[in-house]
Structure 1
Amino acid sequence: MAVFSESELFAIRRHLHQIPELALKERETHDLLLKKVQELKQDFLVVKEPSELPTALLVLVKGSDPQRNIGYRADIDALPVEEDTGLPYKSTHPGIMHACGHDIHMSVALGILSYFSEKQPKDNLVFFFQPAEESESGGMKAYNLGLFTGDFQVDEFYGLHDKPDLPAGAIGCREGTLFAGTCEVNIEIEGKGGHAVFPQKAKDSVVALASLILQIQTIISRSIDPIESGVITFGKLEAGHIRNVIADHARIEGTIRGLTQAMIEKIIDRIKEVCQGVALSYGVKVTPEFNQGGYWPVENNPELTKNFISYMRDAEDVDYIETAPAMTGEDFGFLLNKIPGTMFWLGVDDDSSLHSATFTPKEAAIYKGVQAITGFLAYRMAQG
């Protein structure tokens, strides 16, 4: 029973990397995490395995004189990606890979937890090993199930995401929005089919679809303040069965991104209005469907984030870098909408991008991350 060393954290990370699992199926991962938690000194620890979310794991570290409960979240699921790194500890689960670095996230969290299992914190710490970040909105599920109540209540939440284009171990953050919110959008168009040479007898869903896409693309350029940010992308289109028949049905699928929840809601409202106009213009039925789930913008709490940045910027052993907002999505945004907190980056120095088959984060980032975050948490608890 001792604080995990750097070499032990490397070994843990490599074991986790070999057993990636998809959202809500993280059984091996959960069991390994629990095993590692059980190896620690148990004097201050309380473990919770919620039956309502069985692959989740919560660990309370009881403080010596608690004034607050500080939460720390690490996501645990992987992606449906076939690994192409050539690593000796590559994934043993075909078609699944920790291509977003959640194995790094978990290893850092275990390192922080091991430190405070030996050195009792002043405040209570709640470690949340969260399933289903990549899909299924695990953070939202946990909150709605009431997991952060009673002894496991969280007053402020922190969590990291690894970033390949920052130096290994560097901490990146910013005030305001770190990650955009995301929302899926599907649009069904119901027209009237007919022979290609009798268009006057049909209601062409393909023509309506073409007009709809072009009009929706003007939302960003003409309905959104140019100094704000939003994205609408349609990546999938389906229509028709044969070249000489006017299609009676069309469907498009896409995604919306926005740096604030208000921005996402404005884009949704404008898409609905455009759909109504196209339906009237072309005599078709247009039905939009939106699904945001828990992927709200990661909007950092102003006061807590200023405090976090102040510590990281001034700490002698931390390489702090101010970062720009990213349009990638993260379900920690839902939790930060309900509980004040801060998300930040941990640099992992890799040429490959997140979600790629060749993503190979530098393990040197793990222990540097542990040191930076344990230092910050001790500083935060000393503030009273």
Structure 2
Amino acid sequence: MPLHQRIVSIESEIIGWRRSLHARPELLYEVEETAAFVAEKLRAFGCDVVETGIGRTGVVGVIRGTGPGRSITLRSDMDALPIEEETGTPYASQKPGMMHACGHDGHMAMLLGAARHLCETRDFSGTVNVVFQPAEEGGAGARAMIEDGLFERFETDAVYGMHNLPGMPVGSFGVRPGPIMASTDEFTLTVDGRGGHAAIPQLSRDPILAGSALVQALQQVVARNVDPLDSLVLSVTQFHAGFVHNVIPDTAEVSGTVRSLSANGRALAETRIREICAGIAAAHGVAIEVEYDRNYPVTMNDAAEAARCGEIAAAIAGIAQVDFAAQPLMAGEDFSYMLEKRPGAFVFIGNGPSASLHNARYDFDDRALVYGASYWVELAKAATRA
């Protein structure tokens, strides 16, 4: 099963869509222009149903096959990032301070190419829902669409997602059963001490000293509480305190992120952070307020669905081009919310030797578009069979 010649024949059109979307990036839920572009294409292709405004600005197209079968969902994200683009391409962002630095323009173009093919051929059974989601970049757009009745309004037996990966060769794929991307939690620890003159520290309760001890102690969570074979990242990324040289301040603030590939690791990190704060507060005579926000869950692939996706990718790209035990990423992905509701799988597609994601010089590699669109087509045909 090589690349779809029908997809290859419209490659230049898919590239055109991708570059048009790249030039007009939008952030989080404010993707009205992008959503309108997508909805217009889906209607022109002949989707049986096109609905907009789901989860504020999400778009869903429904494509029905020629016989009975399963209903599945193929998902793409739509939003860009607040980054000033430095690629210098002719189709670079026309909006200052915004760019598609994560490849969501390519994700949309691949799914649009597959949607066009499926609408034209109807050579599958069951129903394919193509979902274009806002606010993946920190806004939990997947959760918003689910809360807006996504899976009740559009019957779904399984869900599938895909993300490009710089450093992986174009034409290759990666997948794995179980965790493939991490949960993404954030913490802010406010140390409330007693300020005073720096020359008479004995009259103060120094929040900077307590905060420094806190930073040191937090590094022991991974080193001494987590099984070395498990994956957990705890990073302190901010420390704010003080305002002049000769004053001990009243407060200090320490904040950072926790990434885990398991629910147990996630729970352990939160528990230990709270225990460490209580101990250091007592030792230094200060109070420490803990704000711990659980954000995106672990992106957890169903084993059977991951195997199915790997087989489809191998048929498209060749088995040597598929990593069936891809290394998981400690970055997060809100497709995880969809996988909590329905079985499915998330895969990586190679973007070649590009700049890294979320980099001002990143660009999606147009050569990957036909591979991604062909993968979606074949996955739709296989996964909808009753």
Residue of structure 2 aligned with 1:37, choices 34, 39, 42:
42
Paired residue type of 2:16: A
Paired residue type of 1:12: W
CA contact (8 A) 1:171 1:344 kept: yes
Residue 310 of structure 1: how far off its partner (Å): 3.1
Q: Does 1:15 align with 2:20?
A: yes
CA contact (8 A) 1:69 1:126 kept: yes
Residue 108 of structure 1: how far off its partner (Å): 0.6
CA contact (8 A) 1:205 1:247 kept: yes
Residue 314 of structure 1: how far off its partner (Å): 4.8
Q: Deviations over 1:176-228 (max 9, x none)?
A: 21111111111111001111122221111000000111111100000101000
Match of 2:312 in 1: 311
Q: Which secondary structure does the structure 2 equivalent of 1:153 belong to? A: coil
TM-score, length-normalised on structure 1?
A: 0.94
1:267–1:347 CA distance, 2 compared to 1 (3 A): same
1:62–1:351 CA distance, 2 compared to 1 (3 A): closer
Q: Does 1:115 align with 2:117?
A: yes
Q: Distance in 2 between matches of 1:351 and 1:359?
A: 6
Q: Distance in 1 between matches of 2:380 and 2:45?
A: 19
CA contact (8 A) 1:60 1:126 kept: yes
Q: Distance in 1 between matches of 2:315 and 2:162?
A: 19
Q: Which secondary structure does the structure 2 equivalent of 1:186 belong to? A: strand
CA contact (8 A) 2:39 2:52 kept: no
Give the number of equivalent residue pairs. Answer: 377
TM-score, length-normalised on structure 2?
A: 0.94
Q: Distance in 2 between matches of 1:358 and 1:166?
A: 17
CA contact (8 A) 1:239 1:251 kept: yes
CA RMSD across the alignment? 1.6
Residue 105 of structure 1: how far off its partner (Å): 0.3
Q: Does 1:262 align with 2:267?
A: no
Q: Which secondary structure does the structure 1 equivalent of 2:150 belong to? A: coil
Paired residue type of 1:46: V
Q: Does 1:330 align with 2:366?
A: no
Q: Distance in 2 between matches of 1:247 and 1:280?
A: 19
Paired residue type of 2:313: M
1:69-108, aligned counterparts within 5 Å? 69-108=71-110
Residue of structure 2 aligned with 1:67, choices 66, 69, 84:
69
Residue of structure 2 aligned with 1:177, choices 176, 179, 184:
179
Paired residue type of 1:311: I
**Farther off after superposition, 237-246 or 84-93:** 237-246
Q: Which secondary structure does the structure 1 equivalent of 2:259 belong to? A: strand
CA contact (8 A) 1:105 1:161 kept: yes
Paired residue type of 1:185: F
Match of 2:368 in 1: 365
CA contact (8 A) 2:183 2:332 kept: yes
Q: Which has the higher contact order (CA 8 A, sep 6+)?
A: 2
Match of 1:342 in 2: 345
Q: Which secondary structure does the structure 1 equivalent of 2:151 belong to? A: coil
Q: Distance in 2 between matches of 1:215 and 1:333?
A: 31
Unmatched runs of 5 consecutive residues or more in structure 2: 1-5
Unmatched runs of 5 consecutive residues or more in structure 1: none
Q: Does 1:249 align with 2:281?
A: no
